[in-house]
Amino acid sequence: MLGSLEVKWYMHRQRTTVRSADDFGNVDVICFSHLRWEFVYQRPQHLMSRFAKHRRTFFVEEPVFDSAAPELRLRVCAKTGVHVVVPALPKTSTRKQEDEYLRQLLCSLIAKQGIREFVAWFYTPMALSFAASICPLVTIYDCMDELSLFRGAPPELIEQERKLFERADLVFTGGLSLFEAKCERHRQVYPFPSSVDVRHFAQARNSAEDPVDQRDIPHPRIGYAGVIDERIDTELLAEVARMRPDWHIIMIGPIVKIPMDALPKPANIHYLGMKQYSDLPAYFSSWEAGMIPFALNDATRFISPTKTPEYLAAGLPVISTPIRDVVRPYGDLGLARIAENANEFAAAIDQSMTCCMSLKWRERADAFLSTLSWDSTWTAMNHLILTAIANRRGASVSKPEPACRAIAVAAGGLA
């Protein structure tokens, strides 16, 4: 059974009507992200790629500190058309200088690219420290994670998020738990849990040539694909590997924020590194199960793992620790097995491999996934943005503000 919150979400998605993206008018998108474009392909990449099909989309990354003088490095992603913007700053920049440099570079970008009307889309509230001077038509805060609970989060992030809530016209959340945590803080908060490109991952249901670095790993294979960081329950992983030495655990993804020597390294755990999004179905194709071995800590309290629907779309049984946004709806609907400790985790994997998935189970999983496509998520978000733009234009009777208040800087740019 779905609770009232889930019902509200699904009713919202069913009611959403498709409007032409051209209704946007000549409006660009500037996205501020704490994740780099070439990092793991996830929510920002899925959504910004879809915006880029209809209008110019600028993806502004966090700065790198390897330049003699402040400069913007701009490239167009050949596959998606997204303009990837990397600010480069001197290594010696102080925090105050950093914000000022970024403010000037942003206004220079707006001026040189002829950006007039645009949507400002924030994944990180920290960008507000240099983007407060811009004048977007609509401001979006897509809160995909509770970043303040992640290891190494800057102490000022909470205050910056408060300011972003004040500026935002719309707030989207990356899961139902985040929605519950944020819904009282803004008048227009909408839950958009992790979605999936079903067609892409369904390729794994057909036997594919095993990737070279996985070819010699024996079966059975239980896999994980995602960032490997403080969210991984390393003790659970080590214990499951010890309990089932004949199983082979495959870990795909970049290792960040934790040292390699902190990870368990028995012979039956294989760290294969980061893979291209396009290659994931080939890896999934020969796994016996997909797992989400997350610890229950601050960093996982509000997450909605994208890997859950991706595993299901690939035809894999899913075993997860009791992450709230996996328990509901996936665990409640019988689409994922939930395990609280290593013994339960190993037993759940055993069950998934010995009990053949019925056609009825797969049909239920596919029916559920049909409501979670990134296309439908983008369409629903786009509808809300179009409405906000229409309301803003209808309410505007005075001369519109320039795209950036720092007119002198925007006109001159940076050398």
Say what the pLDDT of residue 310 is: 97
Q: Are strands 83-88 and 71-76 parallel, antiparallel or unpaired?
A: antiparallel
CA 210, CA 159: separation in Å to the nearest integer? 48
C-alpha to C-alpha distance for 166 and 324, rounded to whole angstroms? 28
pTM recorded for the entire structure: 0.87
Q: Is residue 72 within a helix (H) or strand (E), and if so which, with residue range?
A: strand 71-76
Among 270, 277, 339, 273, smallest CA distance to 306 is for: 277
Note down pLDDT in tens along the chain; length 415 residues.
Answer: 334 344 344 334 434 444 454 556 789 999 999 999 999 999 999 999 999 999 999 999 999 999 999 999 999 999 999 999 999 999 999 888 999 999 999 999 999 999 999 999 999 999 999 999 899 999 999 998 777 777 666 778 889 989 999 999 999 999 898 899 888 888 999 999 989 999 999 999 997 789 999 999 999 999 999 999 999 999 999 999 999 999 999 999 999 989 988 899 999 999 999 999 999 999 999 999 999 999 998 888 888 999 999 999 999 999 999 999 999 999 999 999 999 999 999 999 999 988 756 668 888 999 999 989 999 999 999 999 999 999 888 754 344 455 544 322 333 333 2
Query: Tokens standing for 130?
Result: 């240099």
What pLDDT is stored for residue 299 in this prediction?
A: 82
Q: What is the DSSP string of 175-206?
A: SHHHHHHHTTS-S-EEE----B-HHHHHGGGS
- For residue 341, what pLDDT is reported? 96
Instruction: Write down the pLDDT at residue 393.
Output: 80
119's CB contacts (< 8 A; 6+ apart) are 27, 28, 29, 30, 136, 137, 138, 139, 140, 385, 389
| pLDDT for res 194 | 85
Cα-based angle 336, 340, 345 (whole degrees, multiple of 5): 65
| CA–CA gap between residue 148 and residue 302 (Å, rounded) | 11
207: tokens are 């036997």
Distances (CA, A) of 301 to 145, 172, 318, 344, 412: 9, 17, 19, 21, 46
**Domains delineated in the chain:** 4-195+373-412 (3.40.50.2000), 214-369 (3.40.50.2000)
Q: How many DSSP H helices and E strands does the chain contain?
A: 15, 14
- pLDDT for the residue numbered 350: 94
Amino acid 395: pLDDT:
57
Q: Which amino acid belongs to residue 143?
A: C
